[in-house]
Amino acid sequence: MIMLIRARLFALLWKNCAKKPNLERPLSRFDALIALCEQKKNELESNVLYLNPMLPSAYIWSHERFSSPKPRYFRREFQIYHSVSSAKMQVIAGNTATIWINGRFVGQVLSRFSLSILSIKQSVSVFDITEYLYQGVNIIGIEANHYLESQGALNIFIEYQEENPDETQSKYQICSDKTWQVSFGPFDTNSWSTAEYHLDESIWSSIKVIGYPPDLNSDLYRPQLLKEEQSINEDHFGLRTSINFALEFMFGKIIARIVRFFRRM
């Protein structure tokens, strides 16, 4: 109740000194904080002393010393056993990410490393993917790129719900982690994002796990996607991300590359 009153007072003050369209973001952070407090209360009442509230999916990318701008193709295969009643997918992109599921175009994420509120909001996108999933083998394909000569990053978090034969429901999640694969292609069609595609191991390899929130890209909390929540990106970027960009800004590209090279040894 106290937090709700504070949110309303904050909104009143904001309208007196700033533009109303930008009020949505800080109010959404109040909503997220209220939800987290309620969730923690429920956990304590259930004798759960600690449950990590951070986004469980890793930031992933290709294995490269220096990540030059060019397309990379990320792929994940998974099995669905019953009909899907609801499914949501959250994608956080460094610059660009085009999403395909079972060969069908889902959407695109466009963002950049900036303190602009608009680019920060755009870097986290949620898609309803219920209609793209079916019983059997499913393939998620993401074509990602970034235009900075430092470190690209991609984060995927999916929640979906299956309808069981006994009329119960089961909820599952898929995270970006070491089970994903990456390729530099190039591919002329989107067939690489289908189950029929023959995986050529000579051009596909395991991904590189860069890190997890909050170490990378600051505090990103686990959303309940099926309850219309999403992670809220902060306007600061975590220690590792800040160091990568500070090196390039202060010392130039060549010296920044040398320092990053020895940090990864």
pTM above 0.85, yes or no: no
Identify whether 10 is part of a domain. yes
Model confidence at 238: pLDDT above 70: no
Model confidence at 5: pLDDT above 80: no
Identify whether 179 is part of a domain. yes
List the domain range (segments joined by +) for residue 236.
59-244
Question: Of 44, 69, 81, which Cα lies nearest the Cα of 184?
Answer: 69
Place of tokens 């959404």: 28
Identify whether 131 is part of a domain. yes
Q: What is the largest CA-CA distance in the chain?
A: 62
Model confidence at 146: pLDDT above 90: no
On the question of a cis peptide bond just before residue 71, with omega within 30 degrees of 0, the verdict is no
Helix, strand, coil percentages for the chain (3-state, nearest 5): 30, 30, 40
* 3-state SS class at 19: coil
Number of domains in the chain: 2
**Phi-psi bin for 144: left (phi > 0), alpha (psi -120 to 50), beta?**
beta
Q: What is the mean pLDDT of residues 34-63?
A: 86
Q: In terms of domains, do 39 and 130 share one?
A: no
Model confidence at 265: pLDDT above 50: no
Identify whether 203 is part of a domain. yes
Least confident piece of the model among 50-64, 92-106, 123-137, 187-201 = 50-64
- Does residue 97 or residue 147 have the better pLDDT? 97
Model confidence at 233: pLDDT above 90: no
Tell me, what's the pLDDT at 253?
56
Residue type at position 159: E
Q: Which two tokens stand for residue 47?
A: 């004798």
Place of tokens 């709700």: 4
Model confidence at 43: pLDDT above 80: yes
